[in-house]
Amino acid sequence: MRHAHTAAEVRAAEEPLLASLPPGALMQRAALGLAHAVIDFLGGAYGRRVLLLVGPGNNGGDALWAGAYLARRGASVHAELLADEVHAEGLAGLRAAGGTAAGAEADRRWRASEIDVLIDGIVGIVGRPGLRPSAQRALCRYPGVPVVAVDVPSGVDVDTGRLPGDHVRADLTVTFGSHKIAHLVAPAAEVCGAVQLVDIGLSLPPAAVRSLQAADVARLLPRPAESGHKYTRGVLGVRAGSATYPGAALLCVDGAGSGLAGMIRYQGAAADAVRLRHPEVVGEGRVQAWVVGPGSGEDAGQALAACLADDVPLVIDADALAHLDGPLEVPAVLTPHAGELARMLGVERESVEQDQLAHVRRAAERYQAVVLLKGPRTLVADPSGEVLVNVTGTGWLGTAGAGDVLAGLIGALLASGVMPWQAAGIGAWLHGAAATRAAQHGPLTASVVAATLRATIGDLLHPGAERS
């Protein structure tokens, strides 16, 4: 599990460590980890030209001390000082190691084309979002230079993932002690590049924002008992599709038919097409969970009411989302995209896209349900405020019908007994991992993602097993 802490949580964890270590020791740990990450990024230090953009405070100090280490390893290091007062010990250390420094308005030492990497030490995790004009001007002088950010790209909103103003776009972000929310939550996550964590010895509590990793998903996947049968493994009901959109029913059942539930029951206008493709699917009867809404059209409200009457967990997707009017009394996973979530909350889509974490939490509280906000970094919020961020997937997953597959997959997990928050998080992870696997062979469609789910799940259940 990857944990993303707030700036305040990280600072609180640093305090006892700072009190127990010699002055400057914690910064030296961070700077050494940063320097090694830069060396790996460049493929070496000797002969490289490294430019530091240095602001006030400890973030600038980390950059200066890392620059000193790189200079001792044979790099040519120069710091542009973007503030009247920077970390004095770090600046002295850089100069003692052979590096140079000058104010931001001094003559440039190098042209952009001569620089191998720019280290962003402008603003740290306690800085205000956005950049001052001096920092903006400095960045504009070096277009196209690869950027390594110290802790977070300067200018991002660390605790929300928002991008409220000008900011750095990094190729690599080296962070200390813990991931920060901006590393996981879009849109800020999209400007972090690759994120490398340096362990500096912090003792941190569990975070409210987390990300599942492969080992977590493998541990949480339902496994049938040796004495189990189709009913004990869970029966999923699917109410999806219509005469206008029969494909939505097929794709939803494709996702549900990943093998995680023991039986699927389908009710809807596309029954003949579903059974032709999935002869194992049956009709009416008792279920342990429902999926409702994909492609349901004008019948979505009636279908939702029928599912709610069964008093079992359900996944509410697409057309059915428009028929929600308040807190739900059964366990549920709602799966809107940004436009649908905006309508559910009565706000503009742009507002949701700019502050995704706040809006998905607000929706989960309002509807008293798990809310999965689909996007490049899908968020899964519980009414308690806890959030899972999905980091699997590929841009090819932005394709028609992919959400129908995801709804069916989450429904199968619910029917098998997985709790809603975990079912949504596991489903999003598997969906993204299957898409990434399928995209190795080129562009994909939703049907291809669904067809890749079983192999993706099998690799988690039986790692290292040979597959035909």
- Give yes or no for residue 466 having a pLDDT over 60: no
Report the C-alpha gap between 329 and 349 in whole angstroms: 27
Sheet (strand 76-81) strand order:
100-103, 76-81, 49-54, 117-121, 147-150, 172-176, 194-198
Instruction: Check whether 159 is labelled as a binding-site residue.
Output: no
Give me the pLDDT at residue 178, please: 97
Instruction: Check whether 16 is labelled as a binding-site residue.
Output: no
Instruction: Check whether 393 is labelled as a binding-site residue.
Output: no
Of the chain, the percentage scoring pLDDT greater than 70 comes to 99
Q: What pTM does this model have?
A: 0.96
pLDDT in tens, 40-65: 999 999 999 999 999 998 999 999 99
Of the chain, the percentage scoring pLDDT greater than 90 comes to 95
pLDDT in tens, 253-263: 999 999 899 99
Instruction: Check whether 111 is labelled as a binding-site residue.
Output: no
Closest CA to 81 of 97, 103, 112: 103
- Give yes or no for residue 463 having a pLDDT over 90: no
Average pLDDT, whole number, for the chain?
96
Instruction: Check whether 376 is labelled as a binding-site residue.
Output: yes
Tell me the three state secondary structure of residue 420: helix
Closest CA to 83 of 100, 58, 65, 107: 58
Give me the pLDDT at residue 108, please: 82
The residues spanned by each domain of the chain are 2-209, 214-461
Of the listed ranges 108-112, 159-163, 305-309, 326-330, the one predicted with least confidence: 108-112
Instruction: Check whether 109 is labelled as a binding-site residue.
Output: no
Give me the pLDDT at residue 216, please: 98
Place of tokens 């999806």: 240
Instruction: Check whether 301 is labelled as a binding-site residue.
Output: no
Instruction: Check whether 124 is labelled as a binding-site residue.
Output: yes
Report the C-alpha gap between 50 and 42 in whole angstroms: 10
Question: What pLDDT band is residue 468 in, cutting at 50, 70 and 90?
Answer: very low
CATH number assigned to the domain covering 2-209: 3.40.50.10260
pLDDT in tens, 292-334: 999 999 999 999 999 999 999 999 999 999 999 999 999 999 9
Cβ–Cβ < 8 Å for 10, 125: yes
Give me the pLDDT at residue 54, please: 97
Helix (H) or strand (E) holding 417: none
pLDDT in tens, 240-251: 999 999 999 999
Higher pLDDT, 184 or 225: 184
pLDDT in tens, 380-403: 999 999 999 999 999 999 999 999
Closest CA to 59 of 202, 163, 156, 171: 156
CATH number assigned to the domain covering 214-461: 3.40.1190.20
Query: What is each CA distance from 20 to 12, 27, 89, in whole angstroms?
Result: 14, 13, 20
Question: What pLDDT band is residue 465 in, cutting at 50, 70 and 90?
Answer: low
Instruction: Check whether 130 is labelled as a binding-site residue.
Output: yes
Report the C-alpha gap between 343 and 23 in whole angstroms: 53
Instruction: Check whether 127 is labelled as a binding-site residue.
Output: yes
Give me the pLDDT at residue 239, please: 98
Instruction: Check whether 126 is labelled as a binding-site residue.
Output: yes
Instruction: Check whether 128 is labelled as a binding-site residue.
Output: yes
